[in-house]
């Protein structure tokens, strides 16, 4: 018996080849298959007599095959399948290209329904490569058709899964599951918001009776996704509101002293965000705050003030960065900033561990570092080498064995930098005192469209740094055509001569192998770090110091290169996207990006944000070999806008939902992404979720909905 949870391998019509394809798309169960929704429909619902077909038109006809045979064209070695179809009004020629097997499927005397475009050849009009479907007799019902004679679903054809195959699989499944499909949406909600029930929606989204019904069905799916997302977020919020956190009192004197020690003045946006965070920390309820601010807006300082305040109350801080390079950079920056504040700072990554106190850094074993971390409270005296106040690190922080101190001290604040995550999971893993939850501050430069933030975060608190530090100059952004490459190199030479530094970003580490090039021809042109490095150091800039940086290098080597680049000893750094987030080298003034069409707009904006961080005029050169209109359009947006949030919305507009790289990183599946663009439904779904939870917070009366939530949580990691 088939049900929604049946694995796709158990469906007889799905062979091994297709199982593999489905697996690649993450389709494991019948449910996943049914939720693989069409992205558009072909309208073949109007069946016309063959005598009324006209050139250039999309038509659907029904008739009997009176003749069918394969022939080979002279010059091009293409196999043509030629057929003639007859209905009461006349005859129509049909041609298929390179599908010789068709003569095994379609025979003279068969009744068929055909849908396609009418074209012209010297011998007359013909129907060109139509979709076909055998029918038992001329009068068969439209409802039985799946490829022709109706609104025909067209699916995103990734992994070479054809729409034709999907229709062939889905239709019988829907018939079989007639009794099995239970609707998780409560009846009263469906009634109030005028939503189709699940069974009907599944039929109408795959095999709609009309465009209107297809739209209603799509709406219902959007609603359900948004509704479930809202429920998850709101319940998490309710759960958290019942938890207790450490109240960290505000140490105004220290905060002031720190701010005064900075070589610049905080922007108003920084001040406001800092204040909001410090206020949250005083409460006994766990803070759940997202600090959003464009690249270079100065989020780190805000986090450091919060951290310092926590340390001065004798609690600890965990500071998590996405990469080793960034963890290292934070470690050094923060060590420098807090040099005269008697704060003990630790660095824990998979590879190396350090500790710094009063500006003195020493290497330390992981074991020792962890001992210090735990022992902080036993050693109140501030002698060097005892205790850790701020532990900075990568994922290593949550990979087991990391224990913070015990009450009356312990971990009070978790800071996540550029994790593109909600932080729920990280906080849970770092939390060792079940009754005291650490406060959470998540920082991101990934712009999230407003509607998305509203739903994804529910009532999560948001601090926005919507103002750049004073004196930042606009970064000059230019598209560089292949013919202008030399000029660009000369420009770089001049910049280096006057003491500045340069980033060169390539999409790949290694050049594409011959095999890969055969597979995807365009890969031959994609520049690789290793190749560019060779070319630049040998031919273009033989007298400059050039180094490379990529993810497959050993971490001590990576760090050494980063160090030297920061210290100004390297002129040109050829790198992959490892430098994407957070890297701060104020002396770098040129960001040169190869193969820009391979990167998302948000990502390009991040790259660009690596320069223009100091007092010098900075430049971003976009190298493209692709004249594609979409690429140009996106690049134009990048040139005209400096605002990451506006760019994100532009990207969404140009590339469409589901491709928005920022949101992908937040773990939101495509369907929800598409839904989230619709403010109207976002608001209604939120309202419905709130109403339901106020009546039944545990969702006790809705077991199906509970199940759905569980499923959702497993798929979308609310990390």
Q: Applying CB under 5 A, which residues contact Mg ion? A: 582
Picked from Mg ion, ligand ADP, none, the partner binding residue 613 (CB below 5 to 8 A depending on kind) is: ligand ADP
Measured from the CB atom, the residue of 204 and 300 that comes closer to Mg ion is 300
Residue (295 or 345) nearer to ligand ADP, CB: 295
Task: Return the residues of window 651-680 that contact ligand ADP according to CB under 6 A.
Answer: none
Nearest to 460 by CA among 232, 708, 698, 689: 232
- Nearer residue to ligand ADP within complex by CB, 44 or 565: 565
Nearer to ligand ADP, 90 or 499 (CB): 499
Q: What's the CA gap between 370 and 391, in Å, rounded?
A: 10
Residue 648: CB minimum distance to Mg ion, A: 17
Based on CB atoms, which residue is closest to Mg ion, 331 or 357? 331
- Taking CB atoms, the residue at the shortest distance from ligand ADP is 298
Instruction: State which residue, 216 or 330, has the beta carbon closest to Mg ion.
Output: 330
Residues 128-187 binding ligand ADP (CB under 6 A) are: none
Nearer to ligand ADP, 495 or 606 (CB): 606
Give CA–CA dist 292/457, Å, rounded. Answer: 13
Site string for ligand ADP, 219-258 (x = CB under 6 A): ----------------------------------------
Kindly provide the residue ranges of all beta strands, DSSP E only, lying in 517-627, ordered along the sequence.
Answer: 546-549, 572-575, 588-593, 619-623
Question: Any idea what DSSP says for residue 518?
Answer: H
In this chain, which stretch among 42-50, 266-274, 370-378, 564-572 interacts with ligand ADP, using CB under 6 A?
266-274
Dihedral (CA of 539, 325, 561, 570) sign? positive
> Which CB, 305 or 396, lies closer to ligand ADP?
305
Phi, psi of 172 (to 5 degrees): -65, -30
- Pick from 14, 37, 254, 266 the residue near ligand ADP by CB under 6 A: 266
Helix (H) or strand (E) holding 687: helix 679-695
Please give the Cα distance from 533 to 546 (Å, whole number).
Answer: 7
In the list 584, 649, 659, 670, the residue contacting ligand ADP (rule: CB under 6 A) is 584
In angstroms, give the least distance from the CB of 590 to ligand ADP.
Answer: 18
CB-nearer residue toward Mg ion: 293 or 387? 293
Give CA–CA dist 299/291, Å, rounded.
7
277 binds ligand ADP (CB under 6 A): no
- Give helix then strand counts, H and E, for the chain: 25, 22
Residue 534 dihedral angles phi and psi, to the nearest 5°: -60, -50
Calpha distance 599→661 (Å, rounded): 9
Give me the DSSP letters along 77-129.
--EEEEEEEEETTEEEEEEEES-TTHHHH--TT-EEEEEEEEEEETTEEEEEE
Residue 670 CB, shortest distance to ligand ADP, in Å, is 28
Asked if residue 540 binds ligand ADP (CB under 6 A), the reply is: no
Evaluate whether 621 touches 485 at the Cβ level (below 8 Å). no
In the complex, the smallest distance separating the C-beta of residue 587 from ligand ADP, rounded to whole angstroms, is 11
The mark string for 279-298 relative to ligand ADP (x by CB under 6 A, - otherwise) is: --------------x-xxxx
Closest to 313 in 3D by CA, of 244, 228, 380: 380
Q: How far is the CB of 581 from ligand ADP (least distance, A)?
A: 8
Query: In terms of CB distance, is 213 or 415 closer to ligand ADP?
Result: 415
Residue with smallest beta-carbon separation from Mg ion: 582
Q: Could you tell which of Mg ion, ligand ADP, none binds residue 53, using a CB distance below 5 to 8 A set by kind?
A: none
Cβ at position 618, least distance to Mg ion in Å: 17
Which is closer to ligand ADP, CB of 595 or CB of 644?
Answer: 644
Neighbour-count burial of 307, counting CB atoms closer than 10 A to its CB (0-12 exposed, 13-18 middle, 19+ buried): buried
User: Using CB under 6 A, which of 45, 274, 300, 455 touches ligand ADP?
Assistant: 300
Minimum Å distance from CB 333 to ligand ADP? Answer: 8
Pick one of 147, 299, 344, 650: the residue that binds ligand ADP (CB under 6 A): 299
Residues 6+ apart with CB under 8 A from 356: 331, 335, 344, 345, 346, 347, 362
Q: Which of ligand ADP, Mg ion, none interacts with 551 (beta carbon under 5 to 8 A by kind)?
A: none
Pairs from 467-471 (Cβ < 8 Å, separation ≥ 24): 467/267, 467/268, 467/269, 467/270, 467/297, 468/267, 468/294, 468/296, 468/297, 469/264, 469/267, 469/296, 469/297, 469/298, 470/265, 470/267, 471/615
267 binds, among Mg ion, ligand ADP, none (CB under 5 to 8 A by kind): ligand ADP
Beta-strand pair 316-320/411-417? parallel
Q: Which does 266 bind (CB under 5 to 8 A by kind): Mg ion, ligand ADP, none?
A: ligand ADP
Q: Which is nearer to ligand ADP, 297 or 495 (CB)?
A: 297
In the complex, least distance from residue 268 CB atom to Mg ion, rounded to whole angstroms = 19
266 vs 540 by CB, closer to ligand ADP: 266
Quick check: 173 and 185 in contact, CB under 8 A? no
Choosing from 97, 168, 264, 384, the residue that interacts with ligand ADP (CB under 6 A) is: 264
Of residues 427 and 613, the one with the C-beta less far from ligand ADP: 613
CA 528 – CA 535 distance, rounded (Å) = 11
- Separation of alpha carbons 568 and 501, rounded Å: 7
Tell me which of Mg ion, ligand ADP, none is bound by residue 295, counting a contact when its beta carbon lies within the kind-specific cut-off of 5 to 8 angstroms: ligand ADP
In whole angstroms, the minimum distance from the beta carbon of 547 to Mg ion comes to 23
Phi and psi at 254, nearest 5°, equal -65, -45
CA-based nearest residue to 331, from 10, 82, 637, 566: 566
Asked if omega into 408 is within 30° of 0 (cis), the reply is yes
Residue closer to ligand ADP by CB (options 469, 657) is 469
DSSP state letters, 224-236: HHHHHHHHHHHHH
Q: Give 204 or 300: the residue with its C-beta nearer to ligand ADP.
A: 300
277 three-state secondary structure = helix
Minimum distance from CB of 309 to ligand ADP (Å)?
A: 17
Q: Which does 387 bind (CB under 5 to 8 A by kind): ligand ADP, Mg ion, none?
A: none
Which does residue 297 touch among ligand ADP, Mg ion, none (CB within 5 to 8 A, set by kind)?
Answer: ligand ADP
Residue 458 · residue 237 · CB < 8 Å: yes
CB atoms within 10 A of CB 11: 18
> Out of ligand ADP, Mg ion, none, which partner does residue 595 contact, by CB within 5 to 8 A per kind?
none
Burial class of residue 681, CB neighbours in 10 A (0-12, 13-18, 19+): buried
Give least dist CB 256 to ligand ADP, A.
16
Q: How far is the CB of 262 from ligand ADP (least distance, A)?
A: 8
Out of ligand ADP, Mg ion, none, what residue 230 binds, judged by CB under 5 to 8 A for its kind, is none
Interface of this chain with ligand ADP, residues 465 to 494, rule: CB under 6 A: 469
The residue ranges that bind ligand ADP (CB under 6 A) are 264-267, 270, 293, 295-301, 445, 469, 582, 584, 586, 613
């Amino acid at each position: 018996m088939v049900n929604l949870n049946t694995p796709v391998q158990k469906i007889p019509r799905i062979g091994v080849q297709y199982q593999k394809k489905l697996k690649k798309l993450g389709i494991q169960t019948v449910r996943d298959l049914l939720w693989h929704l069409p992205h558009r429909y072909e309208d073949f619902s109007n069946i016309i007599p063959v005598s009324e077909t006209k050139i250039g038109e999309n038509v659907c006809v029904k008739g009997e095959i009176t003749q069918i045979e394969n022939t080979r064209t002279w010059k091009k070695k293409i196999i043509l399948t030629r057929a003639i179809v007859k209905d009461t009004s006349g005859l129509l020629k049909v041609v298929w290209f390179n599908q010789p097997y068709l003569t095994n499927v379609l025979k003279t005397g068969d009744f068929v329904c055909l849908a396609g475009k009418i074209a012209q050849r010297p011998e007359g009009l013909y129907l060109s490569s139509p979709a076909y479907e055998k029918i038992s007799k001329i009068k068969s019902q439209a409802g039985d058709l799946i490829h022709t004679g109706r609104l025909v679903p067209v699916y995103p054809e990734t992994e070479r899964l054809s729409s034709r195959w999907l229709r062939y699989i889905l239709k019988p499944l829907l018939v079989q599951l007639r009794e099995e499909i239970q609707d998780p949406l409560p009846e009263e909600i469906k009634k109030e918001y005028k939503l189709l029930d699940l069974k009907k929606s599944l039929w109408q989204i795959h095999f709609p009776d009309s465009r209107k019904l297809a739209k209603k069905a799509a709406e219902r799916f959007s609603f359900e996704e948004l509704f479930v997302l809202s429920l998850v977020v709101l319940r998490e919020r309710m759960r958290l509101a019942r938890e207790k956190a450490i109240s960290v009192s505000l140490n105004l004197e220290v905060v002031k002293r720190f701010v005064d020690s900075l070589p610049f003045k905080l922007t108003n946006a920084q001040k406001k965000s800092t204040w909001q965070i410090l206020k949250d920390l005083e409460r006994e309820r766990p803070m759940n705050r997202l600090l959003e601010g464009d690249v270079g807006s100065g989020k780190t300082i805000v986090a450091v003030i919060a951290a310092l305040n926590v340390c001065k109350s004798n609690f600890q801080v965990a500071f998590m960065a996405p990469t080793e390079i960034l963890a290292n950079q934070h470690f050094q920056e923060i060590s420098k900033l807090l040099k005269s504040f008697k704060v003990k700072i630790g660095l824990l990554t998979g590879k190396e561990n350090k500790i710094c106190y009063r500006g003195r850094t020493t290497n330390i074993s992981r074991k020792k570092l962890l001992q210090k971390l735990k022992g902080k409270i036993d050693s109140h005296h501030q002698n060097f080498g005892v205790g850790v106040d701020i532990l900075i690190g990568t994922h290593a922080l949550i990979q087991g064995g990391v224990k913070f101190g015990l009450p009356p001290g312990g971990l009070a604040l978790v800071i996540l930098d550029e994790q593109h995550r909600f932080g729920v999971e990280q906080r849970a893993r770092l939390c060792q005192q079940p009754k005291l939850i650490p406060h959470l501050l998540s920082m991101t430069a990934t712009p999230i469209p407003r509607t998305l933030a509203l739903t994804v975060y529910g009532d999560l608190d948001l601090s926005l740094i919507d103002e750049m530090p004073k004196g930042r100059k606009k970064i000059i952004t230019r598209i560089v055509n292949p013919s202008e490459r030399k000029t660009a190199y000369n420009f770089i030479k001049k910049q280096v001569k006057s003491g500045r530094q340069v980033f060169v970003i390539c999409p790949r580490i290694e050049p594409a192998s011959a095999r890969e090039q055969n597979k995807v021809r365009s890969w031959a042109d994609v520049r690789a770090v290793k190749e560019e490095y060779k070319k630049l150091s040998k031919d273009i800039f033989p007298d400059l110091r050039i180094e490379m940086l990529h993810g497959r290098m050993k971490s001590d080597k990576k760090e050494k290169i980063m160090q030297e680049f920061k210290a100004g000893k390297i002129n040109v750094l050829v790198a992959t996207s490892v430098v994407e987030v957070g890297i701060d080298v104020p002396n770098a003034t040129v960001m040169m990006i190869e193969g820009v069409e391979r990167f998302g707009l948000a990502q390009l904006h991040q790259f660009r944000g690596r320069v223009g961080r100091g007092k010098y005029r900075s430049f971003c050169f976009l190298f493209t070999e692709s004249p594609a209109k979409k690429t140009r359009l996106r690049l134009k947006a990048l040139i005209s806008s400096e605002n990451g949030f506006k760019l994100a919305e532009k990207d969404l507009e140009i590339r469409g939902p589901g491709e928005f790289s920022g949101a992908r990183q937040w773990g939101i599946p495509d369907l929800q992404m598409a839904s989230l663009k619709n403010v109207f439904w976002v608001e209604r779904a939120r309202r419905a979720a709130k109403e339901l939870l106020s009546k039944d917070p545990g969702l006790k009366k809705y077991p199906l909905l509970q199940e759905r939530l569980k499923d959702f949580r497993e798929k979308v990691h609310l990390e």
